[in-house]
Structure formats: structure tokens, C-alpha cells
Amino acid sequence: AQSVTQLDSQVPVFEEAPVELRCNYSSSVSVYLFWYVQYPNQGLQLLLKYLSGSTLVKGINGFEAEFNKSQTSFHLRKPSVHISDTAEYFCAVSEFSGGSEKLVFGKGTKLTVNP
């Protein structure tokens, strides 16, 4: 079974600073990888996804992520954060079995952007 490890449960940063949220996954076979964002008391919104091709993936709100197969990582980055980026971020990997697909999520990283 797939597993996802988000190495930091909380990341505090100052506004306009760069940020990296780390994600490692367990599988060595081809995978689909996703980053989602959740604002308080809301559902999850897709930030970006890696399916194949270029290892640098750009998403919404200025976020990007880099797929590294050798390190089984998919870290999320933003060069300059805003107060409005304060949210919880989830990394996820697709798992396929018996003709079904499901997403396996990490435990999340709470990003707090301080003025």
C-alpha cells in the first residue's frame, strides 16, 4: 500500500518569505501525485498535480512542486508567500487496486504566514 509522509506538521513563515513544504511517498513505481489546500472549515482544493513529463509542475496561487523520482519526493514551493496562503496543505498519491483508484493523503502541514 502507498503511504505519504509530510515531514513538517507546522511551518511558520513571515510574509514575502519563500516556503517549502516537504512530501515523500513510498512507491517506486509510476505514480500520480497531488497537492491540495484546505482553508478552515472548508473542503480541499486542488493546487497542482504531477502525472508525467516535466518534473516541475506549476499550480494555482503561484505554487509549484518538483517531482524527484530518485528521492521519492514531491516538495511544494512558493517564492514569496502572502497572509492569504495561511492554510493546511495536503500531499496525496494515487493508489490503484482491483480496478479502483483512491487517493492516499499525508497528515498535512499547517502553513502560518505572519506579518
CB closer to another protein out of 56 and 60: 60
Distance between CA atoms of residues 44 and 57, nearest Å: 19
CB closer to another protein out of 41 and 54: 41
Q: Considering the complex, what minimum distance in angstroms separates the CB of residue 3 from another protein?
A: 11
CB closer to another protein out of 3 and 84: 3
Interface ranges with another protein (CB under 8 A): 6, 9, 32, 34, 36, 41-46, 49, 51, 90, 94, 96, 99-108
Q: Considering the complex, what minimum distance in angstroms separates the CB of residue 24 from another protein?
A: 14
Q: Considering the complex, what minimum distance in angstroms separates the CB of residue 96 from another protein?
A: 7
Distance between CA atoms of residues 9 and 37, nearest Å: 14
